[in-house]
Chains A and B, each alone.
Chain A
Amino acid sequence: MTSSATETRAVIVERELPHPPEKIWRALTQPHLIAEWLMQADFMPVVDHRFTLRADWGTVDCQVREVEPNRTLSYSWAALGLDSLVTWTLTPTGNGTHLRMEQTGFGPDQQRAYQGAQYGWPKFFDNLERVVGGLS
């Protein structure tokens, strides 16, 4: 269970795709294309733009954080009381693109100060990792 606790801090999925970064970028950023593989979205590749992803099970509130065309896209991802950050990285390879998605918990918004104590999710998971070592 220790390794699972470590993974709790980030979800990473990556894949080699036989397509150029420009094409993948379109799929990641054009609403009608996003709808085909992720969810219905009112997305715009503009920093600070807020958008909502809609699926049958509910909605995800997002805000664009970083846009570097054909290379990097990141947006906050708030759902189920958890704030996280989803970052897409596109790296050209000889015959296509290495696409990496990293979802990390849990952004600065979550780390609001309270009585001088800053307990963010990353710190929480660091601690968690230590204490759940004995979980089975």
Chain B
Amino acid sequence: MPTAQNALFRTLADPTRRALFERLCREGETTVGALTARAGISQPAVSKHLRVLKQAGLVHDRHEGRQTHYRAELRALAPLIDWTNRMTGFWQKRFDHLEDLLNRMDQ
């Protein structure tokens, strides 16, 4: 598995980060302050999660005065969507092996 995909999974495995990312997907560009207001955690905690999301390429930040605006980078999700294709390929190959095995087994 490529490292980028692994990092993406780890990043989104955290429910708080996933919730923040979802909000950015739904609401478009949002300030850290606005995200904090409804996140139920402190602003430093929100900022920390946003930094992790940014490292994974899932969000983009833009500084304007004292405010930092974040928006979701939907293109970064491509490897996640790839995952199902990979898993489907994985299982189809395993089914082939299973069928070979069944043909070799006694009743």
Binding site for B on A (CB under 8 A): 1, 4-5, 7-8, 10-11, 13, 15, 17, 19-20, 23-24, 26-27, 33, 36-38, 57-58, 80-82, 99, 101, 103, 110-112, 114-120, 124, 127-128, 131-132, 134-135
Contacts and interface: CB of A to CB of B under 8 A. Distances in A.
A4 B75 CA distance: 14
Nearest to A136: B75
22 contacts: A1-B81, A4-B81, A4-B84, A8-B83, A10-B84, A11-B87, A15-B95, A26-B105, A27-B102, A36-B101, A37-B97, A38-B97, A81-B13, A82-B9, A101-B95, A114-B16, A115-B16, A115-B39, A115-B40, A131-B25, A131-B74, A135-B75
B56 to A, nearest CB: 12
Interface of B: 1, 5-6, 9-10, 12-13, 15-16, 18-19, 22, 25-26, 39-41, 72, 74-75, 77-78, 80-81, 83-85, 87-88, 91-92, 94-95, 97-102, 105, 107
A103 B19 contact: no
A36 B19 CA distance: 41
B41 A124 contact: no
Contact of B81 (A110, A112, A132): A132
A8 B84 contact: yes
Q: Is the interface of A mostly helix, strand, loop or mixed?
A: mixed
The list of the 4 closest CB pairs from A to B, nearest first, reads A37-B97, A115-B40, A81-B9, A37-B98
Contacts of B18: 119, 124
Q: Is the interface of B mostly helix, strand, loop or mixed?
A: helix
B65 to A, nearest CB: 28
A80 B13 CA distance: 10
Contacts of B39: 115
Given A37-B101, A38-B97, 6 more contacts: A1-B81, A23-B107, A33-B101, A81-B9, A119-B16, A131-B72
Contact of B99 (A4, A17, A101): A17
Contact of B102 (A17, A82, A103): A17
B15 A11 contact: no
Contacts of B75: 135
A27 B105 contact: yes
Interface centre among B26, B94, B101 (most CB of A within 10 A): B101
